[in-house]
Amino acid sequence: VTAAPSSHPPALSPTARTLPDHLEILSVVKDVGWLSIFLAYDKTTSKRCYAVEIDKNAVPDITAREYERYSTIHTNMARATDEEKTAADKIWHDWESSGKVYQLPRDSPAKAVQNFYVVKGKRHRVVLTFLYVNKKLESLYKTLAFEQSRIEDLLTKLRLYRSHATLDISDAFMCIVLGNNLRLLTDTRVTSQSGDISTYRFCNMPYGVCIAPWVLENCVNHAIGLFSEQVVPKMPMPKADKSSLFIGSYMDDILVASDKDAIGIINKLKEILRSLSFEVADHKVMNIDKSSVTEILGLTIIINEGSKVYTVSDKKDAKWKMVLSAVHGLTDITYQDILKCIGSIPKYNVYSPWLTTLSNKIQSVASREKSQVHADWCEPVSPPLRDLIKRWIVFAIDHKPVKVPLDIYPESKLSIFVDASKWAMGFIVYQRHGDSDVVIHRENTLFPPNRVSLNISFKEMIALRYALSWTILPLLFLIRTSLPIFSTPHQWIPGQQRLQDRHLKQASISRQSDKINLKTNQTVALDDIENAQQNDPRLPQDDEHYTVINGIVHRKTPHGYPLPYIPPDLR
């Protein structure tokens, strides 16, 4: 289908020409050649929306052999209960009635056919396999820069503000319209409870295609950017409340943090999202300041005696400890069992920092033993290591999740624990609260990126420098909230950027008759360096003094470890 001439100006990539003809392109959100995201105007709904399209030849036509392999009914659906079959029928019917999928005529030619099955969490969901599509797109997908926020980083930034709110986009992937080339890859064989077989094709992005998370992250970040440009400057901010604002996102969850009235801000953001065809139900907008219990990002935020704390639910805590208990009861523990235990630990700072540290050590010891004896993953570990693992399992099961405060208390000092190994380094910043150590921030980094082994003491020194650089954040926050500030300008901080709050660069404080000026160095993310280098016309081209590592220009140094070249605009 060729769009109307006004919908795809000649300067646009070829992917613009295969968008459905009811879409009129407003702007290009992201274009990597073979894959493009557009902001478009939908003439049928009279609303703006996001559309994604891939190049016509990105995925080859499916062969007869692959068609036979991927179009069979999924084993989970072959033994599905009547409840699951009924739920599946309802989901497909709702998608069809809302215009997100449509049924193809019987025996229609297909470029790729996938299967599906149903799972139940809070409600029944359809899981699409897309094995053939992902297999063909995998090499292209690896070239995409995926800058997804870490949950730990979002929690760290929330600590800098007093008021918090969150919203959840309903079926966020299905709010993004597909181009005609991408639609051809979404055909799905569906067997209803009555035994009828139908083939559905998606009009909107289904979860399961490997590019879906990348597309959603870019669309949500673009929507937040529009909000910052169109709404934030017009917001009435009292002179006494000219404070910074943080908006962050993790897939379809969006967080707003400010010094005051985060719920008012997120309600304005909700309207922007709805105008972009995202579905946001009123009950999915949560005022964390007023809710005694809020479920967010797999965590539970509780207001306890006026203070906010976060933890994991008893259900999640019990789930990973069931895995530990099952391994503890084995006579022989394999190297794969160790990975299963370590991997099941919730990836949040909700346990004692020493539990995570000890878990990493257990994994390191097991990996070293496996390499020394040239064992396979399915082989049992040595008896001494088995006994050590069982002692660690007992230790881990006895550890209960702690309630980690969102506030950083000035009366409790910050402590730093630094660790390094041959290939990695990291640090933990924690505080003592009552009888527990609670993690304030944790960071682990593969270092160096080109896998050159360095002296561990040197890497611990670098990790300590990073940790000290990080601790200035809560330090300046405590100063800001407890002492008079001369200047606190209003500033919006996008979710995928480093904190650039003016207080991190300079805080001018008056206390009695003394005046203190604090200036701190900023750490710069590698992603920011890479983006700045790509747009820097003065980028060095000298091979004698510079080298390229993982796509980033590095400056050669006398000690042999190249350092990233930071463009002047980032210095």
- pLDDT tens for 51-79 read 999 999 899 989 988 888 888 899 899 89
- pLDDT value, residue 174: 94
pTM of the model: 0.72
In the predicted model, is pLDDT for residue 10 greater than 80? no
Exposure of 331 by Cβ count < 10 A (0-12 exposed, 13-18 middle, 19+ buried)?
exposed
- pLDDT value, residue 272: 95
Q: Point out which residues pair with 246 in neighbouring strands.
A: 257, 493
- pLDDT value, residue 383: 93
SS3 of residue 73 by DSSP: coil
- pLDDT value, residue 478: 55
User: Which residues lie closer than 8 Å to 545 by C-beta, 6 or more apart?
Assistant: 555, 556
Strand order in the sheet with 177-178: 23-31, 35-42, 47-54, 177-178
Measured at the CA of 48, the angle between CA 47 and CA 49, to 5 degrees, comes to 120
- pLDDT value, residue 453: 60
Percent of the chain with pLDDT over 90: 34
Least trusted range by pLDDT, from 27-31, 151-155, 174-178: 151-155
- pLDDT value, residue 350: 82
User: What does DSSP say about strands 492-493 and 245-250: parallel, antiparallel, or unpaired?
Assistant: parallel
pLDDT one-digit tens code per residue, 276-295? 999 999 999 999 998 888 88
In the predicted model, is pLDDT for residue 498 greater than 80? no
How far apart CA 21 and CA 329 sit, in angstroms, is: 61
The DSSP output letter for 176 is S
SS3 of residue 437 by DSSP: strand
- pLDDT value, residue 552: 77
SS3 of residue 444 by DSSP: strand
Sign of CA dihedral 44, 199, 35, 130: positive
Helices (H), 186-334: 212-230, 262-275, 314-328
Average pLDDT over residues 381-409: 87
- pLDDT value, residue 463: 78
Least trusted range by pLDDT, from 36-40, 106-110, 454-458: 454-458
- pLDDT value, residue 104: 93
pLDDT one-digit tens code per residue, 197-252? 899 999 999 988 999 999 999 999 999 999 988 888 877 654 434 457 889 898 89
- pLDDT value, residue 385: 93
For the chain, give the mean pLDDT: 80
User: Which residues lie closer than 8 Å to 84 by C-beta, 6 or more apart?
Assistant: 77, 118, 120, 124
How far apart CA 151 and CA 348 sit, in angstroms, is: 8
Percent of the chain with pLDDT over 70: 82
Domain boundaries, the chain: 313-407, 526-570
In the predicted model, is pLDDT for residue 564 greater than 60? yes
What are the two backbone dihedrals, phi and then psi, of residue 238, each rounded to the nearest 5 degrees? Answer: -60, 150
Cβ pair 432, 412 in contact under 8 A: yes
- pLDDT value, residue 166: 94
Distances (CA, A) of 5 to 8, 28, 238: 6, 16, 48
How far apart CA 331 and CA 341 sit, in angstroms, is: 16
- pLDDT value, residue 530: 72
Distances (CA, A) of 71 to 66, 67, 328: 8, 6, 41
Least trusted range by pLDDT, from 9-13, 270-274, 314-318: 9-13
Q: How confident is the model at residue 267 (pLDDT cuts 50, 70, 90)?
A: very high
Residue with the bigger pLDDT between 560 and 493: it is 560
How far apart CA 167 and CA 544 sit, in angstroms, is: 51
